Amino acid sequence: MNKTMNTAPVFSEAQKEAILNSAGKKVALTIARYEHTIEKEDLAGAGETPVYGVFVSLKRFRQLRACCGFMGESVRLAHALDQAAHRAAVDDIRFPVIENHEINEMEMEVWVLFSPELIGAEGEARKDFVEIGKHGLLVVQGEHRGLLLPSVATEMKLTPETFLEQTCLKAHLPKDAWKNEKALVFRFQGMVFSKALKDTVPEELAPQVLVAPKGPSRGDMARLADHCYRNIGKQYENMIPDPYLPGAFDGNVNGACLRVRLSTISADCAQIYLNRPQPLQSTLLGLSQNAAMAMRQHNLKPAELQKTALCVFWDAQPLGNVEKADLSSIDTRHSGILAIRFGKWILGYAPGKKAELILEDVLKNSKFESDEATQIFSVRVACTDIAFMTSTVQKPMVRSTPRPAAVAGLFYPAQSDVMERMRDGFFSPDGVEKQDFAGALVPHAGWKYSGNLTARTLEQMRLASRILVFAPKHHALGVDWGVCPAPRWNLPGRPMEGDENMSRALAEAVPRFQLDSLAHDREHSIEVILPFLSKLAPGSHVIGAVMQGGDRYLAESAKQLAEWIASLPQRPSLIASSDMNHYASLEDTLRIDQPVIEAMRALDPEEMLKIVRENKVSMCGVLPCAFMMMTLRELGLLNRCVTVGHTTSADAGGETKSVVGYCGMLFC
């Protein structure tokens, strides 16, 4: 390590200004797609200064827009600044692509890092070597790396211990990994300079760089809507459509919605490109194709097509989650509000209406929760209608037909005889004594990896005539908490019966749940368990429910479920479906899973949920598991836990660098 890095570099005012102007020019020109390199001569004599690294941070309306850096054992300032500025301009994939016009509204910070030191202390003692406001942190363990600048600790009001924890989480490690002897913890110092980004753009380049946001004009919108109308008719008849409307706007956009109005119904075809905007006209060609296909599927004729409306949006700007979103910068004459939650989105546009009221309408129409999972964006909007609201949030769909097997042939064999042989081979050959366990936790991976543990867990349970299975929801389709209304679960070979009346009663007893077939259409987390239940309890009926988000409603919903169960003539068996941590090394997976398993063994669902959230454990079914345990506790049935096993995908011959954990547990 270069000794000169252990002392703070000294820069004159002229050099500080040169650093800022050079970084800003590089950022602005890179955003505008111009080639430019920062040379050592640009930094007023500071270009050869050895540094530990440089970070460039961009903020718009006080919200982080990009932050990237360049580090090395000892790098020259000019090279590090050039690389960091380039990366901040185009490489931060956490955010939408930065457009030229944003340069007018962004603040830039340049961090010059120095004095890197490995903290040689062990365990808890490491926190004694971290000084808030002075040090930044870097945690390295295996392939995991996490860095936080000194300002993070002061802005978030962190202590040395919580600063270390946050750095571990940034590295996708458990928050206490900094105590582990295998983790390397470095501290470093830094100096920061800041300036409005637009003030760094040379006057002669301003006309090319500082441009207004571009979007379609009113005339473009009317012509493009009519163009889509004509293309729908051609695509319906399998004729070649006109892919391009000459002279009309075809810049990149974040999304579009084509609203098709027919004599009997109105329907939206929409597309969003949040992080990678796409050309408008190719987007519209795809939407008109989707509209034509939907009309054919529903036996609707082109003669019934009365009008097409069009809404286009661009310049997506993150405003934070719904609890913290700052709406003060939104001019609703030209901008709308986009809300995104678990892959579903809704756009509201009402010119002249207060932004707060538009957000209210957006949340009301989408039924999105007002929590950190709902992210808010402002978008520039052009629209053929006076106001517009469109959404990919589907209304619940209730089908009274059997639910077909969706993952047979993927997670387990599709041929009934092959499936039965494989399944039966997982059970104990001599059988086991069944006990009156009230609930169980089982995994839902491919049978190769978790079938044995699922069988060994469920075979110990005396199953009731009705079985409630709560599982995570891995797809955006359908409502967040959805009960399957199907009368039967079709499987290779013998199906598993459902119970339409009991499914409906469950949704009525726990208002957070809704009957919804869509939420179950592609879901595997219940289906992979059903053949085991079909073998063990062929006369039983399964009521399945999937859950996504809504931690704050668990306790209340568990009480409601327990009250309903207590009113039934016979108590159903409860099963939670979940895998444990995903895609860490074998060693890390066992370590990450352990405190979660200990909390379950301690019969403490709140502590389990806290550990999973704080440590960012990727336990997909933590909600169903906590929900089941809370319900059992309300019923007085959470008194003892039996751990059947804790395994990983590596136990079945999978690789050890990236594994998934599984746990089988029984409760009574």
Predicted structure pTM score: 0.78
pLDDT at 3: 45
Angle (CA) 84 153 76, round 5°: 25
Could you read off the pLDDT of 561-603 as tens digits, one per residue? 999 999 999 999 999 999 999 998 898 899 999 999 999 999 9
439 within 8 A of 573, measured Cβ to Cβ: yes
2: pLDDT strictly greater than 70: no
Provide the pLDDT confidence category of residue 626 given band limits of 50, 70 and 90.
very high
Show the domains of the chain with their CATH numbers. Answer: 3-122+181-209 (3.30.700.20), 218-391 (no CATH), 416-667 (3.40.830.10)
pLDDT per residue over 503-554, tens digit each? 999 999 999 999 999 999 999 999 999 999 999 999 999 999 999 999 999 9
Write the DSSP string, 350-363: -TTS-HHHHHHHHH
Q: What does pLDDT average to over the chain?
A: 94
Closest CA relative to residue 589, chosen from 142, 44, 67, 135:
142
Residues 518 and 548 sit within 8 Å (Cβ to Cβ): no
What percent of the chain has a predicted confidence (pLDDT) above 70?
99
Give me the pLDDT at residue 5, please.
Answer: 59
SS3 of 25, please? helix
What is the average pLDDT across 231-245? 93
Tell me what pLDDT residue 266 has. 86
pLDDT value at 207 more than 60? yes
Q: What is the full DSSP assignment across 254-308?
A: SEEEEEEEESS-EEEEEEE-SSS-EEHHHHHHHHHHHHHHHHHHTT--GGGEEEE
Query: Where are the strands (E) in 61-210, listed by range?
Result: 63-76, 106-118, 136-141, 144-148, 184-196
DSSP letter at 648 equals E
335 membership: H or E segment, kind and range: strand 335-341
Quote the CA–CA distance of 487 and 515 in Å, as a whole number: 12
CA 359 to CA 340: how far, in whole Å? 12
73, pLDDT greater than 80: no
What is the average pLDDT across 87-101? 89
Q: How far apart are CA 195 and CA 190, in angstroms?
A: 17
Whether the predicted pLDDT of 212 surpasses 80: no
Is the confidence at residue 628, as pLDDT, over 70?
A: yes
Angstrom distance (rounded) from CA 630 to CA 575: 13
